[in-house]
Each structure stands twice: as structure tokens, then as C-alpha cells.
Structure 1
Amino acid sequence: MRTKWCRAFPGLAEQVVQARNFVAAMIAEGGPVEDAVLVVSELATNAVRHSRSGSADGWFLVIVGFGDGLVRIEVVDQGGERVPHLCNVTSHEEGGRGLLLIASCAKDWGVKNWPDGRSVWAELAWEGA
């Protein structure tokens, strides 16, 4: 990625809206705004719900990268016991399908573990690229 922008957010559920607004403003016209907003919404929500980022004084970081006809959305959280994974689509459990949505609209996605957390990312094709 040639250009990257990032912003840290408090690990609060109401900050997911702010993360969506940040990503939408970074991509603006001509880019995959709807898919990017979906991706950051799912990843930020997962960070707050399923990692230490949702604990008191927790935080998550959103990184938006641009390059080679792609936009990369990455959310860094403070880690936790649950590992992000694709759920069984035939499961009757409520929720748990966010990564399936991301996988369906992204060119690629993945998880990277860090000593004090992890990042989950998705790359989207830039329209017209």
C-alpha cells in the first residue's frame, strides 16, 4: 500500500459509527465506499465485542491503505481468547456471519497476530481500477 491513514478509537460500541464515518471520508467518491463501510463496521464491532479492546480503557485502530487498484481496511485490536474465523453458514446461531460478509465482498482478507493483539484486514477492488 502506497498511502495509509490511521485513527485510534476508544473501545466502545458507539465508536463503531465514528470508524465508519472515518473510512467513508477517506474513500469518498469513486471508491468502494459501501463495501468498505461494511468491512470496518464488522471488524470494529468484533474488536469491541470479542477482544480486550472492549474492556475498560480499551481501544482499536483503523488503518485505511491505498495502492495498486485496492483499498485495504484493517482493524487492530488488543487481542483476546477468541480467534476470528468463518462460521458455519448452516448454523442456527444468531450473529457470527460478519466475516462471511467480508469474504464475499473482499478480494482477500486475513488475520495477523501480534504480541499484544491482532489485526484483521480486507482488501477491496477500487472501482474502475
Structure 2
Amino acid sequence: MFLLLAKWCRPFPGLPQQVAEARYFVAALMEAEGPRMVENAVLIVSELASNAVRHSRSGRKGGWFLVVVVLDDDRVRIEVIDEGGDDRPQLLAANDWEEEGGRGLLLMATCAKDWGVKDRMHGRSVWAELTRAGA
């Protein structure tokens, strides 16, 4: 059963320096969850927000991205909604390891319980879930 305990969302301008602001936002929300949860949540939002600014229309002049954090009884869901782009986020294949960059989603996926991508009418949502301590 999914019992909603808390939900927060905050829009950010689509500027590279706003990724740090998104990290501070999520870290403040996760503080009571313990240092491990803070580290994992910050890593996730950092990757998703960075990708929104770099690889979507959110990084263009006047662009934006939205960070959504949902806590229920046993998990934390972190979602970044951006303005969409031409390429769908995906994990690197093993033969792409020589490419520079592109490992962030893989790193994020290793600490997340689950993650996914959902295309929206005017953008894209990329989300990841973490298991709460004691769940």
C-alpha cells in the first residue's frame, strides 16, 4: 500500500548553477533520513538535474526544470521534470565505457531501488526511488 506522507516540489531556472541549488533543496528535505540517504538523494538529483540542463530544452534561454520529492512509508521518490529533448536518457552499454561522460545514470541506478523515464506532453520526467531506512 502506498501511503503518501509528504510531497515537495520546486522549480529551478535551467542554468548549470541551479543544479547545486537543487542539491541543497533535496539535502535539506532528506536531513532527518540520515547521512546515507542524503548522499544518495543528492547524487540522484545532481545527475537528473544536470542531465536536464545539459541534454534537454531546459538548458536553453528561459528554460526550467522541476524537482519533486515524495516520501511514503518505505521509499523516497525523486523526480526531475524537464522540457524534453531529442534523446531519451539511457544507461551506457558496456562497449561505450571509453566515451567521456555518460556514466552518471549508471551510478544513479546502482544506488536507486528503481528508476525510469516517462515522456510527458511538454517534456520528460526522470525519476528514481530509494528505500527508506527500516523499510
TM-score of Structure 1 vs Structure 2, range by shorter chain: over 0.9
SS at match of 1:29: helix
Out of 10, 29, 40, the residue aligned to residue 35 of structure 1 is 40
Q: Unmatched 5+ residue regions in structure 1?
A: none
1:12 aligns with 2:15: yes
The one-character-per-residue Cα deviations of 1:8-62 (angstroms, maximum 9, x if unpaired) are 0000000000000000001113341100000000000000000000000000000
Q: Which residue of 2 aligns with 1:122?
A: 128
**Number of aligned residues:** 129
Whether the 8 Å contact between 1:89 and 1:97 is mirrored in structure 2 is no
Q: Distance in 2 between matches of 1:12 and 1:108?
A: 27
Q: Distance in 2 between matches of 1:19 and 1:120?
A: 15
1:78 aligns with 2:83: yes
Q: Superposition RMSD on alpha carbons, in Å? A: 1.1
Superposed structure 1 runs of 4+ greater than 2 Å apart:
none
Q: Unmatched 5+ residue regions in structure 2?
A: none
In the TM superposition, residue 88 of structure 1 has moved relative to its aligned partner by: 1.5
Q: TM-score, normalised to structure 2's length?
A: 0.92
SS at match of 1:45: helix
Q: Aligned letter for 1:69?
A: D
Q: TM-score, normalised to structure 1's length?
A: 0.96
- Select the structure that is richer in helix: 2
Out of 52, 55, 64, the residue aligned to residue 60 of structure 2 is 55
Q: Distance in 2 between matches of 1:10 and 1:30?
A: 27
How many percent identity over aligned positions? 63
In the TM superposition, residue 6 of structure 1 has moved relative to its aligned partner by: 0.3
